[in-house]
Structure 1
Amino acid sequence: MTIASPLPISVSPRDGESIESWLEHLADANGLTTSQLLNHLRSRGANTRYLTLAPAPATIATLAALARIPEQTITAATVSAFDGTALDLTGLDPGDQDSYRQVAARGWTPAHGTQICPTCLAEDGAWRTCWRLLIVTACTRHGTLLAIQCPACNRPFRDQRHSHLRRVGARSVCGNPLGAGPASQCQHDLTTIPVEPADEEVLAMQTRIADALTRNAVTVLGDPVDGADYLTDLRHLTTLLLHLASQPDARRLATWPADLATEAQRRTELRGPRWGLRPPESPGLRGAALATADAILTAPDLEAAAAALMPWTELTPTTNDGTLCWLADRTVMTPTLTRLVLSARSRHRRLSHHLDTHPPTGAAMKINHKVIPQVIPHQQYTDHLTGASESGEETVRLFASLSLARAHPDISTWAMAAEALGMPGPMGTRCARVCTRTMLITAQDWQDRIWAAIQDVHRRDYRATEAKIEHRRHLTSRWFQEWARGYRPGTRGTSWPYGLTWQWVHVAHAHIDLSPGWLDAAPTAKDRALYRQFEDSLNDQQQFELAYALHKRA
C-alpha cells in the first residue's frame, strides 16, 4: 500500500457524525469531488468495502494519514462504534463481499440508506452515524421522529448502490441518482422535509438507548444492567411484541398494531414478515413498538413487568407445540426474556388477567374495597368456595378477598389488592402464587363463586371495624375484664390480647397475623396455639357477648 500524502486542509468529524458525511465535508474543503476523493483513497491501495460499517484497518490508517486525524476518531465515525452494543459485527471481513450475510442474519442490521433528522441537517449539515441504527427512531434534541424517505424521489436517503458518497458532496440536497446519467441527482432540499413530534414515551426510550450505546448502565426490572444487555433484551422483546401484535385482538392493547397490519400486508402476502430480521420501516411504528417493550423492561420489578407483558402473551395462537414454543420460535429468548415470559404465563398471572379483563357487570357489582373483609368468613367459604382449590381454608378465604379487590379497575397487581384491604402488599403476592397453583376450577368459575360469596357477607365498612379494634389496643383492658367477670369467670387479665384477636378475626374478618393483639410483633407458633385454645374454649353466649363488647363504650 502506498503511503498517503496528507490533504491540504484537515477536517475532523463532528461529534456523532458518520464517516460518509465527514468524507463529503473533507472533499468539499479540499476542492475535490467525492469521486476524486474515493479514487485518491483507492489509488493508495485502500479497500472501501464496508466503509460505513467497519472498514479495514489499512483503510482507516490511510484516511487518518490523508486527513491528519487519529485513527480512533475515524473508527468512531463508523457503525462499528456500536459493535457489541446495538450490533454484532462478528465475522464481517472487508476482504469478503459475502461476509455481511452472517451479520445480516442476526437481524436489525443497517442496509442501504439511512434515516435523518432534517432539523439537525439544517443546523450543521452533519449526518449522524446512529441514524443508521434501526433501534433509533427519534431525535431527542428536537423531540421529533426521524424521516426515512425523500418526498421527491420516494427513495431512502443515501440510496447509492455504487458509491458510499453522494456526488452532490456535503450539500443539504437529497443527491440520490435519478437513473438518467451520472449528472442527474435528486435536488430536493432535505432541510425542508416536515417532521412529526415524537411521543414522550418514545423520547424517554430513545434517551435510555443513547445511554446504553455508550455502555452506561440501564435499570431493567429494578436492577442496573449493562447497556449492551438492555439493548439486546429490548430488540428481542420488541420482535416478540411485533409478532404478537399481528394476532387478532391486538388492537385493543395499543394503537400501533393497526399500522403494523398495513406494513405487514405491504411486505408480503404469502407469509408474515420476519420481524426478527428487519423491523417496520416507519420510525413512528418502530418507535411505538420499542417504547412498549421498553416500558415492560423498565418496570420496577419482575412482577410489574410480567403483569404488563401478560395481555400480550394472551394473544398467542393455539398450536400443537404449545404457547411457550410459539413464543420461543419468534424471538431470541435471552435470560431476561425467559424470566419474563415464564412469569407472564404463570397460572396466577392468567387468573389476574381474567379478573382484569372480565370485571363483573351491572351497577350492583361495582367493587367497594371498604365492604370487602380481609378474609372471606368461614360460612361463605363453606357455602361457595369448598373444593375450589387444594390450598388450606385460610389461604383460600384470603385469596377470595384479594380476587374481589383485584376486580376493581384501579387495581392491577395482587400487591395493590392487598394494600387496598389494609394488608402488606407482599402478603397478597405470596397468597396468589400459592393458591393459583392449586386451583381446581376455571377462572370464570372462581370469579362466579367469589361474587356469590361476597353477596352473602354482612355489608359494612370493614376498614372502620379494623380501625376500631386497632384503637382498642391503646386503651385499658377494662372492657375485657368486664366481659370476663360477667361471662367467663376465672379468665386471666393477661388474656385480653386473645380477646382482641378474636374480635379481629370473627367480627372484622381480618387476617389473624395482622391482629393488633400481637402488639406489632409477628405471632409465633406458640402465640397461635394459645389463641386457638382461647378461641375453642368459648361457648356461643361468650362469643356473642365478646362480639357485642366491641360496640360498647370502652
Structure 2
Amino acid sequence: MRRDFETQQRTFPTSKVESFLGNPGVRRGSPIFPSSVEPYPEENFESYLFRVAERNGVPTIPEVMQALHLPPRRTYAPNEHEEICFRLDYRLRNLVPIEPVPSQHKAMFAGQWIRVKHLTTFATRLCPQCLAEDGYGRIGWKLVPLPVCDRHGTYLVDSCLCSPNRTINIRRPCYSECECGMDLRSIASYRASAEARSLASLVIGRLLKQPVGDADHTLTGLASIPREISCTELLDIIVVLGCMDPKTGKLGPRYGSPPSELKSNIAQFERAAQILANWPESLLPSVRVLIAPTAFKALSWSDPSDRHDKTRRYLDSALFKWIADAQSRVLQENIRWMLQSLGAELVRGQACSH
C-alpha cells in the first residue's frame, strides 16, 4: 500500500508550531513537536525527519534539526540518541539508523555493528521507483558502498536534472520534491548488471538478517566463505575488491574507506560484483604480479601479504585469509602459464633494449 506522506493533513498551523519552538519554557528532554510521527518499517532517518517537518508544518528539516540541536552526522552518541528520542517520539527507538554509538569506528545500525565509514551523512540517495511505491526512504540507501536498489535492480540517484553535478539538497520542500520543483519520483534510473543486482540483494539480506536466497548462486565467490558473514564484513569485501587495480592487481582499500561519491561507488560495486561472480579466476591479475622480473632480469616472488598490507589491517583476519587462500589456489593452478607469459615478456623486453 502506497504511503504518500506529502498529502498527509497537517495537524497544526505553521504559526503555532513556530511559537511552540520559540517558547523558552519548553523543557529540554520533553517532546518538542506537538504532533508525533511513527517511523515506517526500515525507514531511514532523513526520510523520517521530512515527515516530522511535514506533519508539524515546519518548512524544512534543517529547522527541525536546529530545534533538536542535531548536527548532520552519520551517527549519534548514546546521550544524543536519548535526547532525540525524548524530544521527537519514544517510538523513535525503533528507527535503527540512530541507535547508540559506543565506538567511534562502528555503529549499531539495523541491529548490528556497521563501520561508521559505510554510513552516509544527510546526503540524499534514493530509488525513484521505491519512493513512488512507498512514499518514504529506506535504510539501505544509507550504506555508502551499496549504490544499487535491491528491489528494482537499478542504480540509486543523488542529483536532480536541474543540477546534475550537485547532490540533492536537504533544504527541499519535501522528501520527494527537489528545490526546483521537480518530482524526484520521476527521475530515470538505470539498470544495474545481473551480478550487481545479486550482490545488492545479498547486502540487504545481511543487513536485515533475511533468509539466504537464490542470489548467492550467481556469486560463486561468496559460496566459499561462511554464510553467517555479517553485513559490515560483506561491505568490507566490496570495498577491497572494488578497489582492485585491474592492471597491477593491487587490492584496496584506498585510504581505508569507500568514496562518498555515488558515481565512484557504482564503479567499485560493479567491479566487486564481477570479481565475486567469476571467483577465483578473477584474481588472476592480482596473482600474476606476485611473480615479476626484477632489475636483474630474473623472475622473483613477491609475498601477497607484503603488497596488501593495508588490506590486511582493514579486513577481518579470516576474510584476508580467504582472499590469500584463493590467490594461492589460482597461483598453483596457473603457475606454468604465468611463468611462460612473464618469460616471453622478459625476452621481448631484452630484444627491445638492443
TM-score range, shorter-chain basis? Answer: 0.5 to 0.7
Q: Distance in 2 between matches of 1:73 and 1:241?
A: 33
The aligned residue for residue 20 of structure 1 is 46
1:215-259 Cα deviation digits (max 9, x unpaired): 46867444534332x6425524642452322x26x8xxxxxxxxx
Structure 1: unaligned runs, 5 residues or longer: 42-46, 90-106, 160-165, 176-185, 251-271, 297-304, 359-441, 445-554
The aligned residue for residue 239 of structure 1 is 240
Q: Distance in 2 between matches of 1:132 and 1:291?
A: 19
Instruction: Give the CA deviation at 1:72.
Output: 1.6
Q: Distance in 2 between matches of 1:241 and 1:318?
A: 24
The aligned residue for residue 7 of structure 1 is 33
Runs (4+) of structure 1 moved beyond 6 Å? none
**Is 2:56 the partner of 1:30?**
yes
Superposed, 1:75-224 pairs within 5 Å as 75-76=96-97, 80-82=107-109, 87-89=114-116, 107-111=117-121, 113-159=123-169, 166-175=170-179, 186-215=180-209, 220-222=222-224, 224=226
The aligned residue for residue 526 of structure 1 is none
Instruction: Give the CA deviation at 1:205.
Output: 0.9
Q: Distance in 1 between matches of 2:267 and 2:92?
A: 37
Q: Distance in 2 between matches of 1:75 and 1:349?
A: 41
Q: Distance in 2 between matches of 1:289 and 1:311?
A: 13
The aligned residue for residue 104 of structure 1 is none
Contact persistence 2:75–2:98 (CA under 8 A)? no
The aligned residue for residue 75 of structure 2 is 54
Alignment CA distance shift 1:223-1:168 (3 Å): closer
The amino acid that maps onto 1:4 is: S
The aligned residue for residue 290 of structure 1 is 272
SS at structure 2 position matched to 1:212: helix
**Is 2:352 the partner of 1:350?**
no
Identity %: 22
**Is 2:209 the partner of 1:227?**
no
Alignment CA distance shift 1:353-1:136 (3 Å): same
Structure 2: unaligned runs, 5 residues or longer: 1-26, 102-106, 217-221, 295-300, 342-354
Q: Distance in 1 between matches of 2:43 and 2:311?
A: 35
Q: Distance in 2 between matches of 1:139 and 1:316?
A: 37
Q: Distance in 1 between matches of 2:193 and 2:133?
A: 23
RMSD of aligned C-alpha atoms?
3.9
Q: Distance in 2 between matches of 1:238 and 1:276?
A: 9
Alignment CA distance shift 1:120-1:40 (3 Å): same
SS at structure 2 position matched to 1:10: coil
Q: Which has the larger radius of gyration?
A: 1
1:118-155 Cα deviation digits (max 9, x unpaired): 12222333122321212212112222111133232234
Structure with more contact order per residue of length (Cα contacts < 8 Å, sep ≥ 6)? 2
Aligned pair partner of 2:94 in 67, 73, 82 = 73
Superposed, 1:444-483 pairs within 5 Å as none
Alignment CA distance shift 1:85-1:309 (3 Å): farther
SS at structure 2 position matched to 1:87: strand
Task: Count the aligned residue pairs.
Answer: 289
Q: Distance in 2 between matches of 1:23 and 1:236?
A: 32
1:396-415 Cα deviation digits (max 9, x unpaired): xxxxxxxxxxxxxxxxxxxx
Contact persistence 2:125–2:157 (CA under 8 A)? yes
Q: Distance in 1 between matches of 2:154 and 2:121?
A: 23
**Is 2:85 the partner of 1:64?**
yes
Contact persistence 2:160–2:168 (CA under 8 A)? no
SS at structure 1 position matched to 2:58: coil
Contact persistence 1:110–1:134 (CA under 8 A)? yes
